Structure 1
Amino acid sequence: MLSPYLTLPLAYLLGSIPTALWAGRWLFGLPDIREHGSGNAGATNTFRVLGKQAGSLVMAVDVLKGFVAASLPKWLANDTIADNQLLYWQLGCGALAVLGHIYPVFAGFRGGKGVATVLGMMLAIAPAAVGVCLLVFMAMLLAFRYVSLASMTAGLAFAFLQLLPPFRPANSVLVGVGFVLAGLLIYTHRANIGRLRSGTESRVPLFGRQ
């Protein structure tokens, strides 16, 4: 078993993998996706610039980054972490993976907004609430075709779901984390909010609709 302190830099490095940038460059021949669309190296901009196939691939890998990072303490250092401390190590590793996604060391510290990586992180920690939030995300995406709006709505749903008895966590710290993450999602999407209000936000194509 590793020292739990070693899982922290591993989580950051894992989050720093610039999925959108590398997939765009190596699989789709686009030198730098950050020079197109919204300028972000994330799943939403990949959907916008390269389409559903590329966007789905990037989203899946970015979710996996968060899931694996938040699971590192349990997988690699469980025997050296007290049971009542495991959640804090998982949150720390997940947060560092999100930080790595937003500021990736492998891509000049210019990454994405971290939505998919946050999703993966919380899927490892609170899978039941995240499952409901995925349904909320899909419903909003199908209804309006704005990934940004669907992401923010799902983030708010996660925060408020944890106030309900079926999803209330044993450790109340998670409730606070949920609201912090919702606030972070709204903050990182402030430009999208402006475009939504002005009617200039790009929709993602679904079922052949633009």
Structure 2
Amino acid sequence: MKFFVLLIIAYLLGSIPSGVWVGKLFFKKDLRQFGSGNTGTTNTFRVLGKKAGITVLLMDILKGTLATSLPLLFSLDVNPLVFGVAAVLGHTFPVFANFKGGKAVATSAGMILAYNPAFFVYSALIFIITLYITSMVSLTSMISAVLITLSTIILPFAIPGILPQFDWLLTLIAIALTIFIFIRHKENIQRIKDGTESRVPFGLGSKK
């Protein structure tokens, strides 16, 4: 019974529409009506600015971290990633925002932070370096998802100090999230092909 209650709580934590709430509360804007219409970090930066974007990023990461930490907080012997996935599903299909949410990246990062802080830092470095090279958040998200998924297989054997042991559930979730992230970015993929995808104002790709 405790398992199912906490699973629902994890989903509800993920369902908190950070971008929508920050936009409406402080800017009197509904993110779903501006930019890409997405409620995640990237569209928040684009529509509401840097401070709002950072706030939403931290809130979305925190959702994943709190949800993944629930088994530890309530002494439940189960892989915490299960609750992290529930939060990611809540983030992408939030009950509090008509099931229209973000693209799973930030909340997935929060899940990794709670699961293994060292692997989170490693994954964040992959994201930052890739973003510097591409200057495109969408392309960076997809490339990083692939590299991080491969890392869940390679690191336990190559650098166990970062990921001590192979966790088949972590790899399975990483594969599923990678596929999901690619699906959620299908419009971005088309814009990348067309050369019209938005770029951040820094990095090597910003000079093109």
Bin the TM-score by the shorter chain: 0.7 to 0.9
Q: Does 1:101 align with 2:91?
A: yes
Q: Does 1:156 align with 2:146?
A: yes
> Which residue pairs with 1:33 in the alignment?
31
> Which residue pairs with 1:111 in the alignment?
101
How is 1:1-210 mapped onto 2 (pairs within 5 angstroms)? 3-30=2-29, 32-76=30-74, 78=75, 80-81=76-77, 86-87=78-79, 90-164=80-154, 165=157, 166=159, 167=163, 169-206=165-202
The Cα shift of 1:136 comes to 1.4
SS of the residue 1:116 aligns to: helix
Given the superposition, is the C-alpha separation of residues 96 and 13 from structure 1 closer, same or farther in structure 2, using an over 3 Å criterion?
same
AA partner of residue 42 (structure 2) = T
Q: Please, which moves more after superposition, 164-173 or 185-194?
A: 164-173
In 2, Cα distance between equivalents of 1:93 and 1:70: 5
Given the superposition, is the C-alpha separation of residues 175 and 51 from structure 1 closer, same or farther in structure 2, using an over 3 Å criterion?
same
In 1, Cα distance between equivalents of 2:116 and 2:177: 13
Q: Please, which moves more after superposition, 173-182 or 188-197?
A: 173-182
The Cα shift of 1:206 comes to 4.3
AA partner of residue 100 (structure 1) = G
In 1, Cα distance between equivalents of 2:175 and 2:116: 14
Q: Is the 8 A contact 1:15 1:66 kept in 2?
A: yes
Q: Please, which moves more after superposition, 154-163 or 167-176?
A: 167-176
In 2, Cα distance between equivalents of 1:181 and 1:99: 10
The Cα shift of 1:175 comes to 2.0
How many residues get paired? Answer: 199
Q: Is the 8 A contact 1:19 1:62 kept in 2?
A: yes
AA partner of residue 20 (structure 2) = L
Question: Which blocks of at least 5 consecutive residues in structure 2 are unaligned?
Answer: none
Q: Please, which moves more after superposition, 131-140 or 161-170?
A: 161-170
The Cα shift of 1:91 comes to 2.1
Measured against aligned partners, the alpha-carbon deviations of 1:170-194 in whole angstroms (never above 9, x if no partner) come to 4323222222222221121111111
The Cα shift of 1:154 comes to 1.6
Q: Is the 8 A contact 2:153 2:166 kept in 1?
A: no
Give the share of equivalent positions with the same residue, in percent. Answer: 42
Q: Is the 8 A contact 1:94 1:118 kept in 2?
A: yes
The Cα shift of 1:22 comes to 0.6
TM-score by length of 1: 0.87
Q: Is the 8 A contact 1:129 1:162 kept in 2?
A: no
In 2, Cα distance between equivalents of 1:163 and 1:97: 23
The Cα shift of 1:107 comes to 1.3
AA partner of residue 201 (structure 2) = P
In 2, Cα distance between equivalents of 1:122 and 1:9: 19
AA partner of residue 10 (structure 2) = A
